[in-house]
Copies of this chain bind each other. A is one copy, B any other.
Amino acid sequence: MRAFTEERAWAKFHDPKSLILALVGEVGELAELFQWLPADEAVRRVAVEPLRTRVGEELADVLVYLVRLADVLDIDLASAARSKVRAAADRYPAEDHHGEAPQKG
């Protein structure tokens, strides 16, 4: 993404607030693909083409802007994600939270 951006001299557009708006745009496109699917049929419906490829593209777009945002902010995204999953494992011990939806604080 960094090379792609530099080759096009697009770095000037990639301030964090603009990248978050771009990320929001892609999340919106992802949401549109699912909005009217029955909740319990979504996995099955998305297993079929052409929807499967469309969904993959939107997931990819979200990831691409997320990675670019982390790069602009000089944040190690993979490391941050590993820390976060470890922290969640400590916060929600498996034996205390079996089958219960966590409450957002």
Contacting B at CB under 8 A, from A27-69, are 27-40, 42-43, 46-47, 52, 55-57, 59-64, 66-67, 69
Chain B: minimal CB distance from A35 (Å): 4
Q: Please give, as numbers and ranges, the residues of chain B lying within 8 Å of A84 by CB-CB distance.
A: 57, 60-61, 64
Q: Which residue of B lies closest to A18 (CB)?
A: B35
B55 touches A34 (CB 8 A): no
Q: Please give, as numbers and ranges, the residues of chain B lying within 8 Å of A59 by CB-CB distance.
A: 66, 69-70, 73, 75, 77, 80
Q: State how many copies of this chain the complex holds.
A: 4
With A55-B73, A59-B73 given, can you name 19 additional A-B contacts, CB distance below 8 Å?
A4-B89, A9-B99, A13-B101, A16-B34, A16-B42, A17-B18, A17-B37, A18-B36, A20-B31, A22-B31, A23-B62, A24-B28, A32-B104, A39-B40, A47-B74, A60-B77, A60-B84, A63-B66, A63-B81
